Structure 1
Amino acid sequence: MRTDGDNWDIVSSVGRTALGVATFRALETARPDALIEDEFARWFVEAAADPHFVGLLADPSPLEDTPFFFPGFMGIRTKFFDGFFLSAAAAGVSQAVILAAGLDARAYRLDWPAGATVFEVDQSKVLEFKNEVLTEHGAHAKVDRRPVAVDLRDDWPAALAGAGFDPGRPSAWSAEGLLPYLPGAAHDALFERIDGLSAPGSRLAVDGFGNGADLRRFEAIREKYFPVNPFGDMDVAELFYEDERADPAVWLTGHGWSVDPFTLLELAADYGVPVPPLPEELADLTTRSTYVTAEK
């Protein structure tokens, strides 16, 4: 269960979800029709040596019996945020901020323009693990990468400024797989701070489940339709907060941002990913799984 001020490393609590996401990116990368290419993801999983996730790398077949292959979902999500950053960079936005960066390797994977800077914000133990693995493998970022070790429930704008972030320049922000893990107050403060730090022309991409979603349903639905929990013995929903919070799309629109929403099924169609007929409960979850891009 979550507590105020809790923290984690890469194999515990919220940190372990980042390890799971890296596993699913690695599995998606290995597929012949992969939507993404992330050679770094496997390094992180192998270095962490979590038995469940290492086992899935060796044999992903248990996930293939699920109604919607989980790594394929992660491929869609990853491609969405990849495209967001590449589009922003092509439009001349040279300052990017990845909030709750986890084991994200976009600073190494994507082709950033000259002069771009990528700030990776996350807890110190997560960033330390990530840096150790990348150093061990001799990886080199394709951009000016600046890790920012801070908890997003704390004064992360000050830490970001200390790393050289310039609020006078347009920025591209991402909050990928983050929002349910924040208490309502921190969730709303996140958008207020992003808005206050964003010069005109800034962009933002977020994903979530929309207001009114019963996040505790996830484990019941998982047990009903998924023979194997993709996250092993961890109930991810136990890490979520369900207290009151603003709807991101509504909040951003009300603060002068131009907003474009998408559903998981719309993205799947755009990317040419076939989705089989789903049981009603799973189909409902796909419609509640929302993706938003916004421009100030």
Structure 2
Amino acid sequence: MTEQRAVPTGVGRTALGVAAARARESLRSDRLFEDPLAAAFLAAAGWPGPEQRPAAPTGDPALGESMFHHLVIRTRFFDDRLLAAAADGCLQVVLTAAGLDTRAFRLPWPDGTALYEIDFPGMLDFKERVLAEQQARPLCRRTVLPADLREDWGGRLVAAGFDPGARTVWLAEGLLIYLSPSETAGLLTEVGALSAPGSRLFFTHPVPDSTVVREVRTTPSMSGLATLWQGGLDEDPSDWLARHGWQSERQDRAALAASYGRPGGSGSRGGFHSAVRLPG
């Protein structure tokens, strides 16, 4: 039997839910991506495997399926955007709140790619132990940085080898909903300060009236998750980004899902954002 490893509680625990969705998708013959390490994280934490239960244990099967499809579409969308940015010369990749993300190990990065993963020490300790047990080998130069993104992390990233003068692609996937407006603004301001012109920023931002957000807030079994949500920016992210030197766009999740041949839910803009750092 696999030894159970301690996993951080609270926000850190949500990474297992994402891993469960990715492990379940990896079992499909028509999968949109393959994450061969996701099931290993579940086993190490003592969670049932992806073939034994839905991706999100919400107590509400319909809500669980909705969250599963959201996570799958989100994962594939950012996979595609990250690889396109790297192919275009953004060879520094920073995954903020990386959780149990395994893109360093499963995506075909261009030669010379340097990928940085930032998360809490407890999460990264769990992750590194499982990766070592699986003898996983990254497909790029990978650096792990234990840090709290609500505090001073930029200087530590530079000290770890990050070059602010080089074009970078940043990902904040499923993070900003757990930060307050001021914390979100602080994080994005630091990202901007470290971004050379032409850098890319991809992130999810909560849509307050989206179906999933409303259902999670009103589902008793999900109350623990809902209490962790702080909302992110208190204004349209496109407006904030425009004032701070970025050109941005939002992606319609339903249209994305249709392009992948998957259910997409409502036509809400979905909270998938892409931005390019402007000169000056």
**What band does the TM-score fall into relative to the shorter chain?**
0.7 to 0.9
Q: Is residue 21–residue 56 contact of structure 2 (8 Å, CA) maintained in 1? A: no
1:218 to 2:215 alignment = yes
1:58 to 2:58 alignment = no
Segments of structure 2 that go 5 or more residues without pairing to the other structure are: 1-5
1:294 to 2:269 alignment = no
Aligned to 1:142: 139
**Equivalents in 2 of 1:59, 1:146: separation in Å?**
33
Between the aligned residues of both structures, percent identity stands at 39
1:113 to 2:110 alignment = yes
Aligned to 1:269: 258
Count of matched residue pairs: 269
Q: Is residue 34–residue 75 contact of structure 1 (8 Å, CA) maintained in 2? A: no
1:114-148 per-residue CA deviation (whole Å, 9 max, x = no partner) reads 11100000000101110100001111000100001
Aligned to 2:41: 44
User: Which stretch shifts more, 250-259 or 89-98?
Assistant: 250-259
- Judged with a 3 Å threshold, the aligned counterparts in structure 2 of structure 1 residues 196 and 11 are, in CA distance, closer, same or farther, namely closer
1:166-197 per-residue CA deviation (whole Å, 9 max, x = no partner) reads 00001000000000111221100111111111
TM alignment of 1:77-88, pairs within 5 A: 77-88=74-85
Q: Which amino acid aligns with 2:107?
A: L
Q: Is residue 205–residue 232 contact of structure 2 (8 Å, CA) maintained in 1? A: no
Q: Is residue 119–residue 148 contact of structure 1 (8 Å, CA) maintained in 2? A: yes
Q: Is residue 203–residue 273 contact of structure 2 (8 Å, CA) maintained in 1? A: yes
Q: Is residue 93–residue 170 contact of structure 1 (8 Å, CA) maintained in 2? A: yes
Q: Which amino acid aligns with 1:272?
A: G
Aligned to 2:247: 258
Aligned to 1:18: 15
User: Which stretch shifts more, 286-295 or 108-117?
Assistant: 286-295
**Equivalents in 2 of 1:248, 1:61: separation in Å?**
29
Superposition CA RMSD, Å:
2.5
**Equivalents in 2 of 1:61, 1:255: separation in Å?**
37
Q: Is residue 28–residue 72 contact of structure 1 (8 Å, CA) maintained in 2? A: no
Q: Which amino acid aligns with 1:238?
A: T
Aligned to 1:6: none
Q: Is residue 19–residue 103 contact of structure 1 (8 Å, CA) maintained in 2? A: yes
Q: Is residue 219–residue 235 contact of structure 1 (8 Å, CA) maintained in 2? A: no
1:52-83 per-residue CA deviation (whole Å, 9 max, x = no partner) reads xx165423399895264533321101001101
TM alignment of 1:135-284, pairs within 5 A: 135-210=132-207, 217-222=214-219, 235-242=224-231, 245-275=234-264, 283=266
Q: Which amino acid aligns with 2:37?
A: F
Q: Is residue 23–residue 57 contact of structure 1 (8 Å, CA) maintained in 2? A: no
1:129 to 2:126 alignment = yes
User: Which stretch shifts more, 75-84 or 245-254?
Assistant: 245-254
**Equivalents in 2 of 1:61, 1:166: separation in Å?**
37
- Judged with a 3 Å threshold, the aligned counterparts in structure 2 of structure 1 residues 213 and 34 are, in CA distance, closer, same or farther, namely closer
**Equivalents in 2 of 1:131, 1:61: separation in Å?**
23
1:39 alignment partner, SS class: coil
**Equivalents in 1 of 2:88, 2:21: separation in Å?**
30
Q: Is residue 88–residue 172 contact of structure 1 (8 Å, CA) maintained in 2? A: yes
TM-score (norm 1): 0.83
1:146 alignment partner, SS class: strand
**Equivalents in 2 of 1:132, 1:169: separation in Å?**
31
**Equivalents in 2 of 1:256, 1:38: separation in Å?**
35
The offset of 1:22, in angstroms, is: 0.4
1:120 alignment partner, SS class: strand
